[in-house]
Amino acid sequence: MTEVTFYLSSKAGDGVRQALAWRIADKALKQGRQVYVHCQNEAHARQVDAQFWQSPATGFLPHALGGEGQAPVLLGFGDDPGHHHDVLINLTDQVPDFSSRFQRVAEMISGAETERQKGRERFRFYRDRGFPVTTHELG
């Protein structure tokens, strides 16, 4: 069954969720896993792509936008994550329909109250359907 982990940050503001996503993707990649980062739309995916190229300045995370090549970290949007089924990092405000086909789902939650509320809704969705759910406070 899919394991779901919520990563909570006390920080609010633009880019907090993307920074968390970079950290989780980097960790998963070091464990030999493949990662699909689910974005709201193409513009959001391009924004995340730009941030992944800049963060952190000392690191490199091999990634690609959906359809632009093979990489262990794929940024995408829409309904089809392709062949990925290992780790899903969700940067949207909804539970993706395809989330249960992944071994792990990582939900990024910033300190902004509106994001916290949407995160609580997603938490309830997973819990009510029997997914094992854990949370990690990242500060």
Q: Which tens digit of pLDDT belongs to each residue from 106-130? A: 999 999 999 999 999 999 999 999 9
Supply the pTM of this predicted model: 0.93
Which residue in 118, 72, 80 sits closest to 101, CA to CA?
80
How many structural domains compose the chain? 1
Containing structural domain, residue 68: 3-137
CATH classification of the domain holding 109: 3.40.50.10110
Could you give the angle at which helices 16-30 and 42-54 cross, rounded to 10 degrees? 70
Q: What is the per-residue pLDDT across 40-96, written as a single tens digit (0 to 9) for each?
A: 999 999 999 988 887 666 677 888 888 666 789 999 998 788 788 999 999 999 999
